[in-house]
Amino acid sequence: MTMLAYHEFSRTPERDVYSLPSETFRRHARLVDGLSGARSCITFDDGHRSQFDFAAPILDEMRLAGIFFITTAWVGFLHSVMCWRDLRELQQAGQIVGSHSHTHPMLTACGPVALRNEMTVSKEIIEQRLGVEVDSISMPGGRINERVLMACGEAGYKRVYTSRVAERKRSTGNLPEVIGRYIVRGGTSDRTLAAYLDGDPFVCRRLEMESRMKTVAKALIGDSLYHRLWRKAARSGAYGS
Ligand SMILES: [Zn+2]
């Protein structure tokens, strides 16, 4: 099973590497639909409004179901993210809403109480608002370790989504299943994406290497500096794939 993760969309190409033109997403959705059918899944992090405006109608049109991971403290407070009415509409259209924590901290840096709150508050709010059980969570900033994984299990999550390509751990005991995803960016070519969806071992290894290098770089220089440098480099084309 291949997993894709998206963030933002726009009508026209933008400079931000995490933002994709909606036409690009339409091509990607077509690839998912055509190449791999039920073996692939499209996920979204952060609950940005553009996911509702641009991506959801395309999923609808192609009868594809995705998972929308939302940060509950942002809903109803940030203009840029979907409100509960949008989320209810998504759910009624057959989409899944999962947790992306309550306030979006790096969970690996949270103390035990904060960590537990991030997990449980977010889960409870979504369940209360939408009336469904929430058993999936995606990691803010992709950060995860054994302690975070255990807290996810204790809070009742069955599946944990990260941003490492091809990462896969079966659930054991109380520990949830860990599922890696490929973070799709503005510079991702259709060819790379098609090869990944098709399970091309060479491309999968390359993407795995890239995501491993990113994890190491983040650990070495810290997350915020890393993101600033990376966005800058990606804009200039150095990381286009
Ligand atoms: Zn996020």
SS3 assignment for the chain: CEEEEECEEECCCCCCCCEEEHHHHHHHHHHHHHHHHHHEEEEEECCEHHHHHHHHHHHHHCCCCEEEEECHHHCCCCCCECCHHHHHHHHHCCCEEEECCCCCCCHHHCCHHHHHHHHHHHHHHHHHHHCCCCCEEECHHHCCCHHHHHHHHHHCCCEEECCCCCCEECCECCECEEECCEECCCCCCHHHHHHHHCCCHHHHHHHHHHHHHHHHHHHHHCHHHHHHHHHHHHHCCCCCC
Residue 240 belongs to some domain of the structure = no
How far is ligand 1, taken at its centre, from the CA of residue 104, in Å?
6
Q: What is the pLDDT of residues 42-72, one digit of tens each?
A: 999 999 999 999 999 999 999 999 999 999 9
If pLDDT is split at 50, 70 and 90, which confidence band does 237 have? very low
| 7 alpha carbon – ligand 1 mean position (Å) | 8
- pLDDT score of 90 more than 70: yes
Distance between Cα 139 and ligand 1 center (Å):
7
Residue 15 has pLDDT above 90, yes or no: no
133-165 residue pLDDT tens: 999 999 998 889 999 999 999 999 999 999 888
Say if 123 falls within a structural domain: yes
Ligand 1 centroid from CA 103, angstroms: 10
Instruction: Quote the ligand 1 centre to 227 CA distance (angstroms).
Output: 12
Residue 216 lies in a domain: yes
The parent domain of residue 207 ranges over: 2-235
Q: Is residue 196 part of a domain?
A: yes
Residues around the ion ligand 1 (C-beta < 5 A): 45-46, 140
Count structural domains, the chain: 1
Judge whether 241 lies within some domain.
no
12 domain residue, yes or no: yes
Cα 210 to ligand 1 centre (Å): 19
Global pTM value: 0.88
46 CA distance to ligand 1 centroid (A)? 5
Residue 210 lies in a domain: yes
CA 110 to ligand 1 centroid distance, Å = 16
Q: Report the separation in Å between the CA atom of 161 and the middle of ligand 1, taken as the mean of its atom positions.
A: 11
* Residue 190, in any domain of the structure: yes
Q: Lowest mean pLDDT: which of 38-42, 83-87, 88-92, 138-142?
A: 38-42
The CATH number given to whatever domain includes residue 134 is 3.20.20.370
